[in-house]
């Protein structure tokens, strides 16, 4: 395995390019955001190139060599360590198409098992923002959120929701995620669709099920449109783009809420039929996860479902009971093995 210090040597040209780009970010949304981050640390990218490089190298080492991966990959690690693997890491908003395939398959299985019928009030906790694709590094398309559109797409295709009466609440703590959704709603109110871009690296051994999911993802929320062309350096990439209908965007209401610390007090008729929470619990310790689960349970109607790819700690005071699960495989990664998710359905007692 490459050690962090060796990796830094290989990454040096990229770090240099990045440092130079931060010094003159132009109108690029991502670079302006990154520049703001380093400026908040007192580094002026234009004036202190050496300090900026040292900071970037230190962050690369720290993230690449972080203890959390050792915890995750250690087969004999305690379950509580595995389920709280990112508890010491800052919150990340990264998101990708993969887990939405898992949610799609879980909804399908729930429907077949009679555990899901028509849903009207849905919540997503932590929809995330695709700032730069975590696996491939793509950033040739605008910053985007994926999960709200993928989830609505699945619900419509599986005939589990009616677009005309669907309400999706997107809870998040990140001001960037909330501002992104607010801006999309403002544009939708003026009739502008939302651009959703779904790249696929054709060199990756995606499972046939995932490829099939990717091919039709988004078809229920808007027409396919011309996709932005990836740069040559992006490798073998197929890209689909969807112009999400403004009416779909308007159905998604962002709300600033820390699910560990709070909840909405909902009247019985306002309780959610479904709450989706993926890649969020891992950032919290056992106690915080239990608080989050309790808050979610209080916002679900009896019989409503929580869908998550992180097993939660079932405690008697939280009325959520494991009702089933769906395993999905995304691809086989060399040296890592099959990557996938277990999407678990918890029913509100
Ligand atoms: C790693 S991203 C996952 C995004 C998406 N759910 C997915 O699986 O692709 C985690 C998301 O949860 C949000 N988040 C983290 N802690 C939260 C909390 N306590 N309450 C609400 N949102 C939170 C983050 O801001 C981010 O949008």
Minimum CA distance residue for ligand 1 atom 18: 258
Q: Is the CB of 295 under 6 A from ligand 1?
A: no
Q: Is the CB of 99 under 6 A from ligand 1?
A: yes
pLDDT digits (tens, 9 = 90+) for 93-135: 999 999 999 999 999 999 999 988 999 999 999 999 999 888 8
Rounded Cα–Cα distance for residues 37 and 26 (Å): 16
Q: What are the beta bridge partners of residue 124?
A: 170, 276
pLDDT at 72: 62
How is the beta sheet containing 272-277 ordered, strand by strand?
Answer: 252-256, 167-172, 121-125, 272-277, 300-308, 337-348, 320-333
pLDDT at 29: 83
Full set of structural domains in the chain with CATH:
4-65 (no CATH), 98-348 (3.40.50.150)
The whole-chain average pLDDT of the chain stands at 92
Measured from the Cα of 98, ligand 1's closest atom is 9
Q: Which of 90, 172, 344, when mutated, tests ligand 1's pocket best, judged by the most ligand atoms within 8 Å of its CB?
A: 172
* Residue 10 Cα to ligand 1 middle (Å): 31
pLDDT digits (tens, 9 = 90+) for 177-196: 999 999 999 999 999 999 99
Q: Quick check: 146 and 131 in contact, CB under 8 A?
A: no
The overall longest dimension of the chain from CA atoms, in Å, is 62
Rounded Cα–Cα distance for residues 135 and 126 (Å): 19
User: DSSP alpha helices (H): ranges in 230-320?
Assistant: 246-250, 286-299
- Checking if the pLDDT of 274 tops 90, the result is yes
Q: Is the CB of 104 under 6 A from ligand 1?
A: no
pLDDT at 170: 98
Rounded Cα–Cα distance for residues 53 and 62 (Å): 14
Minimum CA distance residue for ligand 1 atom 9: 95
Residue of higher predicted confidence among 132 and 242: 242
Tokens of 66: 């972080």
Q: Is the CB of 147 under 6 A from ligand 1?
A: yes
* Residue 172 Cα to ligand 1 middle (Å): 6
Q: Is the CB of 273 under 6 A from ligand 1?
A: no
Minimum CA distance residue for ligand 1 atom 27: 128
Q: What is the mean pLDDT of residues 6-33?
A: 88
User: DSSP alpha helices (H): ranges in the chain?
Assistant: 4-23, 29-40, 49-64, 67-73, 79-83, 98-112, 147-157, 175-189, 208-216, 246-250, 286-299
Q: What is the mean pLDDT of residues 184-210?
A: 97
Minimum CA distance residue for ligand 1 atom 19: 258
pLDDT at 67: 56
Q: What are the beta bridge partners of residue 276?
A: 124, 307
pLDDT at 118: 94
Q: Is the CB of 31 under 6 A from ligand 1?
A: no
- Checking if the pLDDT of 153 tops 90, the result is yes
Measured from the Cα of 260, ligand 1's closest atom is 19
pLDDT digits (tens, 9 = 90+) for 159-172: 999 999 999 999 99
Q: Is the CB of 178 under 6 A from ligand 1?
A: no
DSSP type of residue 233: G
Q: What is the mean pLDDT of residues 234-242?
A: 96
Does this model's pTM top 0.85? My answer is yes
Q: What are the beta bridge partners of residue 345?
A: 307, 324
pLDDT at 68: 58
Q: What is the mean pLDDT of residues 342-347?
A: 98
């Amino acid at each position: 395995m490459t050690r962090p210090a060796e990796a830094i040597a290989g990454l040096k040209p990229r770090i240099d390019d990045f440092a130079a780009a931060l010094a003159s970010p132009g109108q690029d949304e991502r670079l302006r955001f990154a520049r703001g981050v380093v400026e908040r640390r007192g580094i002026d990218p234009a004036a202190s190139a050496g300090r900026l490089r040292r900071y970037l190298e230190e962050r690369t080492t720290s993230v690449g060599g972080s203890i959390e991966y050792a915890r995750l990959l250690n087969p004999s690690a305690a379950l509580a360590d595995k389920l709280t693997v990112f508890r010491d890491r800052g919150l990340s908003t990264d998101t990708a198409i993969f887990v939405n395939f898992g949610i799609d398959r879980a909804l399908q299985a729930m429907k077949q098992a009679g555990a899901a019928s028509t849903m009207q009030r849905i919540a997503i906790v932590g929809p995330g923002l695709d700032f730069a694709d975590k696996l491939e590094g793509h950033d040739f398309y605008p910053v985007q959120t994926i999960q709200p559109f993928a989830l609505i797409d699945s619900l419509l295709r599986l005939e589990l929701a009616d677009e005309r009466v669907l309400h999706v609440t997107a809870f998040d703590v990140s001001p960037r995620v909330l501002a992104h959704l607010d801006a999309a709603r403002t544009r939708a109110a003026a009739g502008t669709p939302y651009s959703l871009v779904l790249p696929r690296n054709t060199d990756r051994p995606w499972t046939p099920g995932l490829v099939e999911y990717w091919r039709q993802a988004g078809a229920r929320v808007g027409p396919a449109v011309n996709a932005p062309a990836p740069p040559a350096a992006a490798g073998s990439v197929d890209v689909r783009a969807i112009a999400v209908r403004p009416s779909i965007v308007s159905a998604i209401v962002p709300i600033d809420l820390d699910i560990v610390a709070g909840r909405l007090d909902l009247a019985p008729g306002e309780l959610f039929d479904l709450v989706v929470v993926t890649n969020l619990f891992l950032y919290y310790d056992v106690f915080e996860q239990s608080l989050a689960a309790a808050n979610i349970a209080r916002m679900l109607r009896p019989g409503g479902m929580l869908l998550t790819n992180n097993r939660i700690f079932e405690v008697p005071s939280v009325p959520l009971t494991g009702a089933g699960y769906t395993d999905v495989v995304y691809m086989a990664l060399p040296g890592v093995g099959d990557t996938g998710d277990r999407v678990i359905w918890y029913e509100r007692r």
